[in-house]
Structure 1
Amino acid sequence: MKNRTTAPSPTFTQTVLLGELSRQQYLAMALKAAKQAGWNMVHTAPNGFRATTGTAPDLFDEEITLGIAAPLTGLTATITSTSAHSQTEDTGQNQRNIADFLNAFEQLKTGSSDTDRAFMQAQLEQLVPPGAPDDDTLIQQEEKGKLAGFLAMFIPVEGYFITPILVNLNILIFIIMSLTGVNIISPESQSLLNWGANFRPLTLAGEWWRLLTNCFIHIGVIHLLMNMYALVYIGMLLEPFMGRLRFAVAYVLTGIAASVVSLWWHDLTISAGASGAIFGMYGVFLALLTTNLVEASARKAMLSSIGVFVAYNLVFGLKGGIDNAAHIGGLVSGILVGYSVTPSLKKPALAQLRTLTLLIPALLILTCSFIVYKKLPNTAALYDAKVQEFTLLEQQALELYNLPENAPDSVFLNNIKNKGIPAWNACLSIVGELEQADLPEPLQKRVKLIHAYYDLRLKSYQLTYKSIAEQSHQYDAELKSCISQIEAIGKQMEDMQ
């Protein structure tokens, strides 16, 4: 007779992020939600509970455990529903059990007052006295949930939907960039520009889409990991509180605002990364923490934590190499969005109010961004355009050196007088226009060198003309000095590239 093995009981597990709730606050609400779901409580501990469904604990249909863990991504609750051994087919009841519990929990979270929460907390303290030990079996459940807790960072679920999509999108773009040859440690400037980095000369030249695309590309893997950690942290706190639509709109709006401020502040800086939008979300949370939307017991600790994080990163950004302008732009616009959506968070049932409180900051930020974009002078693009003119005029002037050596002196004199000297004078006239423009400091230095270069070029042509016309060598030393200075300036300009 063959040995028979028992088929494993059907089971379903789901891990959720606690968000802004502490372990005690979550457990207090979870116990109330379990009661509303009709579960029989078997055992309660500081780190979770064990319950059953059915008419009595001894004659149960499913056993349910809830264990609260603290992986790197923050506090998580792993909920598992397991069918009784007499059930061998998965009818979907385990999944429905957890769905019913989460729905009841969400209603409690959004509908309970401070008084209701205080009462639930008091009931928890009666069931689980302060200082009671954790349940070892639930701790084992926590250990099983740690990997699930880490993976949950990338999986959209109710209350944590937009954040993992943003994280996955940023990671995916970075992977594609690396597969196309972009250096994952220190990418070249041109690679960043090819992928949509924010750069005033290009962005103001009609490539406005860079204001958004730069928020999804990163300058190396360390940059990516730091930003994604910060995004997950604020996302798990803020998204359950705001909801999908508000969170997504706030992220995009503050990202654009951060890019516009960076565009306004920096002349020739290549800017990329999600940190402007992330600072925007921290700004939103800071605004909400100054209202009574968050429980007073949690408000002070969170306000202190978020405030220290923001202050530290802004001060750290003063060291250079960090786009603090984008951080400040994101932060300020986030505070604006946070206060704008507060009325709709206080009255979540009013759909029209939610639309209005999103529409107002959207119109304000997008209108201001459009005005700045249109009014901001693209002096670097002006410089590039004038350089193109220089190139054509210089080619015309240097035709002198393409003349045959045995050409008559009259040909050389005619070329210098009618082509060379007028071309160099035209270059100097263009240089005068650039000197009047409000160019970035690096370009101002180049313009000074260009001015000196064309002065010497003009002088060298004038000396050459005199030397040929007078059939004299008295200008040779001066002409040689001009050529030497021209070569030295050319070397300086190459070093500034």
Structure 2
Amino acid sequence: MAWGISPKKTAQVPLHGFGTDKYLAIVFNAFENLNWKVSYADDKGLIAYTPISWESYSEQITVVIENEIAHIKSECVGYQAFLYDYGKNEKNIELLITEIEYCAFHIQTDIEGNIQRFKDSFYQHPGINLSYTPLGAKDKFTHLGTIFIPRKNYQVVPVLIAVNCLVFILQRIIFFAYVFALNQKGVSDVKEKSTAFGKLLYGGIERNLVLNGEYWRLFTACFSHGSVSHIFFNMIFLAYIGSIIEGRVGKWNFLGLYLMTGICASITSIGFRYEEMGVGASGAIMGMFGVFLAYLSTNFFDAKARTAFLISTVLISIITLWPSGEGIDHAAHFGGFISGYIFGIFSYWAYTKAERSKRYFIRMVSYVLILLAVSSWVFFMPKYDLEAYRKSKDKMMVDLNLISSYFYSSDYDTLTKVERIVLLETKMIPVIRKNEIVLKELKNTPLPSEEEKNAKHFFKYYGNKLKIYELLYKEFKTDHPAYRKKMQQLTDEIYEQEEE
């Protein structure tokens, strides 16, 4: 059994005097017998991939000969649930060693022919070699702590992980110190002040704050997280995808893609989420999965490696993008993923150019064009101040209860009719007039489409209630039954609304 971001099992087998060429020819035959697809072969080793099945979406099998020892490794290609290989790698090692022993016995009669057949199959691909396999730096992970260690083809990702973790720790320390200081001073509105401070400290994306000019939040939100589990799983996924593709796209291009897709994810998020603050690196991380999928849709990776990666990448993408669960910013995930795929196509196009100047030009143009296209959406987004809208509604309902009390509260039972009329004219009618103005203003307030239907119901209900109470006042003052029919009509409309 093996655990980790890149679960693996290794074994060392002596050549027993076979020699490198003979032993690799035997391994080549063993791969064929097991139906493991050889992706790379040279005079030092081989790389193959196990078939896709319900039990496995492929492992990478590497055999390298050094100092008369065969170093055999089976490593999971895709992301493993719970970071566990379910015994697949150990089983692969056992199968291969058994098959090698079988082949070593049966191909002795034509060993030279098998060696030549192996050499004829030598295959090299620009993205694959024994020192840097399709797994990239992923196969260097031995425990969780290694995701923080920079190495060849893995330099920007550990810095991003460290920055995210440092920001998370500092934000918690500063926030709790601020709340503690407020409590020590005996401040009465601690919750209100701490909420306002938290919005500034965490730099999350909130629609109205961004549309009011705080565009820096589109960037800072990518480095803030809401909980320990939030940052833990985000960093695991960042280490996974970053270790595979940083070396492919280049460290500075990786950083650019990460930041650009993160900003695109933030913009998409505020386009679909009208309130509450969003934080997290998941939009940028899904952007890198989009980049990876774009590369997998080209011939950049060898076909066997591409198939192995594709299953895991598609599964992770579907699970992450599927709109389920509370508190998950699916819009950010979707925006990051789609923009990442588009960026990835441009990135691959740049990769195909031999001249460095052309590669840089294509990348910069893609950054500018895509970012301009997405950010232009910001200027057409309507502002929705739902918090102010709901506060106004709550205050109006309080006023409605106050208006009702002037008619039905026992506090006024001792008043004469004249005194009650004076009370209604001086206390109730001004409240009605004030709320008629507020109601008119609310009707002109921009609201999201899903809020509009409820708002229309509320406006009609509240307007009818104000009219009924004004008619009650007139009836009470004049003792004239003429107002009764209209009041009944308005009451019927309210009942009809409640039944809808």
TM bucket, shorter chain: 0.5 to 0.7
Cα distance in 1 for partners of 2:211, 2:129 equals 56
Taking the TM superposition and a 5 Å limit, the aligned residue runs for 1:463-478 are 463-464=472-473, 467=476, 469=477
Match of 2:441 in 1: 430
User: Greater relative contact order (Cα 8 A, min sep 6): structure 1 or 2?
Assistant: 2
Question: Residue 380 of structure 2 aligns with which residue?
Answer: 375
Deviations, residues 104-143 of structure 1 (Å, cap 9, x unaligned):
xxxxxxxxx964779987xxxxxxxxxxxxxxxxxxxxxx
> Which residue does the alignment assign to 2:362?
357
* Amino acid across the alignment from 2:358: L
Q: Pick from 168, 172, 184: which aligns with 1:174?
A: 168
Q: Does 1:217 pair with 2:187?
A: no
- Counterparts of 1:441 and 1:389, CA distance in 2: 17
**Alignment-derived partner of residue 384 in structure 1:** 388
**Cα distance between partner residues in 2 of 1:156 and 1:190:** 37
Tell me: CA distance 1:471–1:303, structure 2 relative to 1, closer, same or farther (3 Å): closer
Q: Among residues 336, 340, 363, which one is paired with 1:334 in the alignment?
A: 340
Q: CA deviation at 1:470?
A: 5.3
Identical-residue share of aligned pairs (%): 27
Q: What is the deviation of 1:447?
A: 6.1
Check conservation: 1:413, 1:465, Cα contact below 8 A.
Answer: no
Aligned amino acid, residue 253 of structure 2 = R
- RMSD over aligned Cα atoms: 5.2
CA distance in 2, matches of 1:337, 1:299: 19
In the alignment, which residue of structure 2 is the partner of 1:85? Answer: none
Q: Distance in 2 between matches of 1:221 and 1:29?
A: 47
**Aligned residue for 1:323?**
329
Tell me the CA shift for residue 305 of structure 1.
2.4
In 1: Cα distance, 2:258 partner to 2:349 partner: 19
Q: Is residue 279 of structure 2 the alignment partner of residue 272 of structure 1?
A: yes
Per the alignment, residue 45 of structure 1 pairs with 69
Q: Kindly provide the CA deviation profile for residues 343-373 of structure 1, in whole angstroms up to 9, marking residues without a partner as x.
A: 332346x332222122222122221222210
The answer to whether the aligner puts 1:345 opposite 2:351 as a matched pair is yes
Change in 2 beyond 3 A, CA 1:444/1:367 = same
> Which amino acid is 1:368 matched to?
A
Gaps of 5+ in 2: 12-37, 46-64, 85-121, 131-139, 178-191, 407-414, 491-500
- CA offsets 1:284-341 (integer angstroms, 9 cap, x no match): 11111222222233222122222222223334x4355433222222111111111101
What residue number does 1:109 align with? none
**2:237 partner amino acid:** A
* Aligned positions of 1:130-145 closer than 5 A: none
Instruction: For residue 318 of structure 1, give the secondary structure of its aligned residue in structure 2.
Output: coil
Match of 2:261 among 251, 254, 259: 254
Aligned partners of 1:209, 1:289: CA distance in 2, in Å? 33
Q: Which amino acid in 2 is paired with 1:47?
A: H
- Aligned position for 1:104: none
Contact map agreement 2:127 2:300 (CA 8 A) in 1 = no
Structure 1 residues 282, 30: CA separation in 2 closer, same or farther (over 3 Å shift)? farther
| Cα distance in structure 1, aligned partners of 2:335 and 2:128 | 42
- 1:295 corresponds in structure 2 to 302
- Normalization by structure 2: what TM-score? 0.57
Work out which of the residue numbers 191, 210, 214 in structure 2 matches 1:207: 214
1:251-272 deviation per Cα after TM superposition (whole angstroms, max 9, x unaligned): 1111121222222223335433
Asked if the contact 2:350–2:359 (Cα under 8 Å) also holds between the matched residues in 1, the reply is yes
What secondary structure sits across from 1:377 in the alignment? coil
Which range moves more in the overlay, 280-289 or 365-374? Answer: 365-374
Q: Partners of 2:126 and 2:227 in 1: how far apart? A: 45
User: Which residue is equivalent to 1:313?
Assistant: 320
**In the aligned structure 2, how far is the partner of 1:465 from the partner of 1:354?**
80
**What CA distance in whole angstroms lies between the structure 1 residues aligned with 2:421 and 2:335?**
64
Give the partner amino acid of 1:337.
F
Question: C-alpha offsets along residues 424-464 of structure 1, whole Å, 9 cap, x if unaligned?
Answer: 33223224324xx4435347535644653454345435544
Query: Matched residue of 1:47: which SS?
Result: strand
Unaligned runs of 5+ in 1: 1-16, 32-40, 49-66, 75-112, 122-144, 183-187, 483-497
Q: CA deviation at 1:223?
A: 2.0
Q: Distance in 2 between matches of 1:313 and 1:293?
A: 25
Please report how far the alpha carbon of residue 171 of structure 1 lies from its aligned counterpart in structure 2 after TM superposition: 1.5
Change (3 A) 1:365 1:146: closer
Distance 1:465 1:281, change over 3 A: same
Q: Deviations over 1:197-230 (max 9, x none)?
A: 3232333233333322222222322222111111
Match of 1:159 among 147, 153, 163: 153
Instruction: Specify whether residues 450 and 46 from structure 1 end up closer, same or farther in structure 2 by C-alpha distance, changes over 3 A only.
Output: farther
> Does structure 1 conserve the Cα–Cα contact (< 8 Å) formed by 2:221 and 2:278?
yes
Structure 1 length as normaliser, TM-score?
0.57
**1:343–1:353 CA contact under 8 A, matched in 2:** no
**How far is 1:384 from its partner?**
2.7
Q: Distance in 2 between matches of 1:338 and 1:197?
A: 26
How many residues are matched? 361
Select which of 194, 204, 227 maps to 1:197: 204
